[in-house]
A and B are shown apart, each in its own frame.
Chain A
Amino acid sequence: MNPQIIRLTYVALALIAVLVVMTTYWQTWAAASLADRQDNAIKRVAEFSIDRGLIFSFEPRRRLARNREREVDGRTLFFRRYPYGPLAAHVVGYSTVGRSRTGLERSLNDYLTASNQNLSTLVDKALDELRGRPVQGNDVVTTLDLDAQQVALDELGTRCGAVVALDPRTGKVRVMASSPSFDPNLVEERFGRISRVAADCRPASPLLNRASAGLYVPGSTFKVITASAALESKKYGPESTFYDPGYCTVYGKRVNNFDTTSPFGTITLTDALTYSVNSVFCKIGLKLGAKAILDQAKRFGFYERPPLETPADERLASGLYQRGALYYPRLDSDVDAGRMAFGQERMLVTALQMASVAGTIGAGGRFLEPHVVDRIVAPGGRVIERQRPRLIRRAVSEETADAVAAMMRLAVERGTGTAARISGYSIGGKTGTGETGVPGSNTTWFIAFAGPDEERPPELAIAVVLQNQSGTGGATAAPIARAVMQAILQDTENP
């Protein structure tokens, strides 16, 4: 029987060897991807024994997220509190036992829990563990201007929408507000109260970060991109003239101006942007073709997830959408270029994307990567990561950018965006009223850049979007943009 026994021994040992291999697989190879999974309760709870890093606003420096210690079962656990509640809830997010994490709490979890692979963090963590002390996470300093953030949320009020303001020279996001907001302190134990938040839209979806994950019809703000494409094509200049009959004919159908009663007749491209004349852009769209305009849009960042430190699924790409998915036409004729040229068709955009567009035009065509995190600081105070301005690409030539910027300045000076004027500053902007097909529930927009004068690059770019409005972008969104811009510009004036 001995030969059989020897063979059976091999079988038995092979069975246990398989167990060793699989244990190795789960503990080394698969460990990182399992740790990142949202349903991983073990990791989530384990991380509550870490003295989680704090999250700060940029100016004034305030703690947006802090820890509250509690003794549970002989161990010190650290639970999150958010002293400013709804103020920066969508950027900061929340970290809870029962409902996982969102926002920076999720995307920067490795830094906040000192699980990042920087050498100094590894050493500090090992020392903490040897001493039997709670591991201390790294602090995060955001780029948010808390006062302006407050103004933005106050201005939005009960309306549903978002405000994004950023510095186009560096990409630093100063304001990222989404309305309605929610109190992250309620997520763990009183989530019901968040689901009962009411606002001027249904569903109110307070947890949705409308600034980067809310897709809206861009309306006339998209004309900035069409105008850029027109100038870049060299087929048009700022003084090219058009005849406006008050409508444009696409596939034999009329597409009307916002106000059809008083056609402009002969009009330049500059005036067409200043007064937002649909028929002119419709003609440009038909001439250039959908793909040429979309390719220009791509250079502004469309069709890619806008880069930011928040979790990827809290940011959406702008572009044409078909049946809920991003869609790029195979042929020019697949898309109604005339309507797309003034921001209708199936074009959907985010406020973050439109703020970048305004900023890029203001900054001479240079598209900088937006950031909401300024730096990450180790417990000792040493900076372990610092965000530096990073150029994504040149979206348009400097001449084109300056020409479009001049048109936008005129729009604020004497066109549709006069409500955003601030004395002593040079502001260029564009209004938008996106039709959703339901009367009295338009999506209204205002995008703008602002600086001390025309010569220097603007220090601020902004996008404001509102849902369910009956007024125009100039009447509803531009005043909000003005208030937020004023808050930021005043801050930089008297530091």
Chain B
Amino acid sequence: MSARSRELAGLVLAGLVAATAFASVALARDSELSPRALAWVVAFAGLYLVAHVAVRRTAPYADGALLPLTAVLTAVGLVTIYRLDSEDGARQAVWVAVGVAVLVAALVALKRDYRVLESYRYLFGVAAVVLLLLPSVPGLGAEVNGVRLWVDLGPLQFQPGELAKICLIVFLAGYLREKREVLAQGRLKDFGPLVAIWGAAMLVIVQTNDLGSALLNFGIFLAMLYVATGRALFVAAGLALFVGGAAVLYNAIGHVQERVTTWLDPWDPDRVYDESYQLVQSLYSIANGGWEGTGLGRGTFASTDGTELIPALRTDFVFSAIAQEIGLIGASALLLCFMLFVVRGMRIALRAQDGFSKLLAVGLTFGFALQTFVILGGVLRVVPLTGITLPFVSYGGTSIVANFLLLAGLLLVSSRANAPR
């Protein structure tokens, strides 16, 4: 069975998951299977059929598991968002369509050889920094919940941080491929650019108050540095620098401080109805799911008068909605999908033949894993909470588009690696 046939079979399975999920929500909410629910499933299947055909044409040897896994993750996200607010669900569906379009466009544009990207590495590096700092430009950036993550261009708002992450990975893959031997020798003068990156990460924290995105980008950098040089010491030193810098900033920035105290003791009576309300209610939502969950469409997210009990449920806290409705069994299955995605991504990196491809695949995959950990770790009170999105699941256009670009990268690398020579 070829990779593409496996992919098609996987997509059929994903379609079944989506159809069951939409049917359960429709039954629970409206007590009937409306044609609308059917329309959703047909549209969803159509989108991924298009993606499948595009992969067949442009990346015929690509890994066959990634697209079905993506389909499952977006299906779970779509169903949950649609269930919480059908209008937001429709918007998210449009964004998934845009994401698929971007995927197809990226595949078509780079099908000859994606490695041309390597020659534009510095352009990507500059783009990453610009995108990261864009929200703090006066008149452009918008502050939400004390964090500057958004760019507001009138009708269009987007979170440039998500795209910056992709640009940074492309830059690092190119830069580290070129400098890895030199860096591995560990001469002090070669570390200038790396110190600059650390400085940029700290600057991002100061400028945007956003510990999460700084942690994510710096983590990706350390992981790729380690893979490129094989020097664990660099990672240790980098981590020490980051923690040290963050500790200094902790005292300087109230927002970061608040997140940490909330994390340490969310049930403090002074905070439980205030700063830590969101985190605590989200934990209650997860706990309310128990083993088997309340069932899709049957969870409790709104008070008896219809007001939402958990702020940001569709974006940062989408997992606590999912965990309540599909329970531990479903939530574990979802996390297993994330694990499989990571395993496939790393396998692609192992099989890739050239340094740039390996580093690119590692960066994209580890970025995906770390982002999942940072947001879900925050929601599950493993680490302080920082507002970033859950890949492919959270509501939000930029995030969806950025993650489809990530998928495009992995598909392209794997197609080249698996191609018969």
Contacts and interface: CB of A to CB of B under 8 A. Distances in A.
B328 interface: yes
B42 to A, nearest CB: 24
B380 A22 contact: yes
Contacts of B346: 5-6, 8-9, 12
Bin chain B's interface residue count.
35 or more
Contact of B286 (A15, A23, A37, A72): A23
Interface in B333-370: 335-336, 338-339, 342-343, 346, 349-350, 355, 358-359, 362, 365-366, 369-370
Given A19-B382, A41-B281, A8 B331 contact: no
B235 to A, nearest CB: 10
B343 to A, nearest CB: 7
B284 A42 contact: yes
A31 B285 CA distance: 10
B377 interface: yes
Contact of A74 (B29, B273, B324, B342): B29
A48 interface: yes
A27 interface: yes
B2 interface: no
Contacts of A43: 284, 288, 300
B198 interface: no
Contacts of B141: none
B366 A27 contact: no
A16 B290 contact: no
Contacts of B335: 16, 19-20, 23
Interface in A1-57: 1-6, 8-9, 11-13, 15-20, 22-24, 26-28, 30-31, 34-35, 37, 39-43, 45-46, 48-49
Interface stretch (B47-55, B223-231, B409-417): B223-231
A27 B370 contact: no
Contact of B304 (A16, A74, A97): A97
Contact of A72 (B223, B287, B301, B304): B304
B349 A5 contact: yes
Contacts of A19: 335, 372-373, 376-377, 380, 382
A9 B223 CA distance: 10
Contact of A27 (B223, B287, B338, B339): B287
Interface of A is mostly: helix
B206 interface: no
Contacts of A74: 29-30
B241 interface: no
Contacts, number: 152
A113 to B, nearest CB: 13
A313 to B, nearest CB: 15
A46 B298 CA distance: 9
B37 interface: no
Contacts of A20: 332, 335-336
A6 B351 CA distance: 12
A77 interface: yes
Contacts of B369: 12-13, 15-16
Nearest to B309: A41
A179 B349 CA distance: 75
Nearest to B338: A16
B111 interface: no
Contacts of B226: 4, 8
Interface in B20-67: 29-31
Contacts of B281: 40-42
Given A22-B381, A26-B287, A28-B290, A45 B272 contact: no
A46 B273 CA distance: 19
Bin chain A's interface residue count.
35 or more
B154 interface: no
Contacts of B301: 42
Interface string B303-334: 11110011000000000000110011001100
A34 B288 CA distance: 9
A239 interface: no
Nearest to B367: A12
Given A1-B227, A42-B309, A74-B30, A28 B284 contact: no
B288 A35 contact: yes
A73 interface: yes
A41 B286 CA distance: 12
Interface string A71-99: 01110010100000000000000000100
B328 A39 contact: no
A18 B377 contact: yes
B103 interface: no
The CB with the most chain A CB atoms within 10 A, among B287, B306, B332, is that of B287
Contacts of B303: 41, 45, 97
A77 B286 CA distance: 22
Nearest to B273: A39
A100 to B, nearest CB: 12
B280 interface: yes
B355 A27 contact: no
A250 B355 CA distance: 95
B287 A45 contact: no
Interface string B176-200: 0000000000000000000000000
B302 interface: yes
A30 B370 contact: no
Interface of A: 1-6, 8-9, 11-13, 15-20, 22-24, 26-28, 30-31, 34-35, 37, 39-43, 45-46, 48-49, 72-74, 77, 79, 97, 132
Given A28-B291, A42-B301, 17 more contacts: A1-B230, A1-B355, A4-B226, A5-B227, A5-B346, A6-B350, A8-B366, A16-B339, A19-B376, A19-B380, A20-B332, A26-B323, A42-B309, A45-B302, A73-B302, A74-B29, A77-B304
12 contacts: A6-B346, A13-B342, A19-B376, A23-B286, A23-B328, A23-B332, A23-B380, A27-B291, A27-B323, A31-B290, A34-B284, A42-B310
> 6 closest Cβ contacts across the A-B interface?
A12-B369, A46-B300, A22-B380, A15-B373, A9-B346, A34-B287
Interface of B: 29-31, 223, 226-228, 230, 267, 272-273, 280-281, 283-291, 294, 300-306, 309-310, 323-324, 327-328, 331-332, 335-336, 338-339, 342-343, 346, 349-350, 355, 358-359, 362, 365-366, 369-370, 372-373, 376-377, 380-382
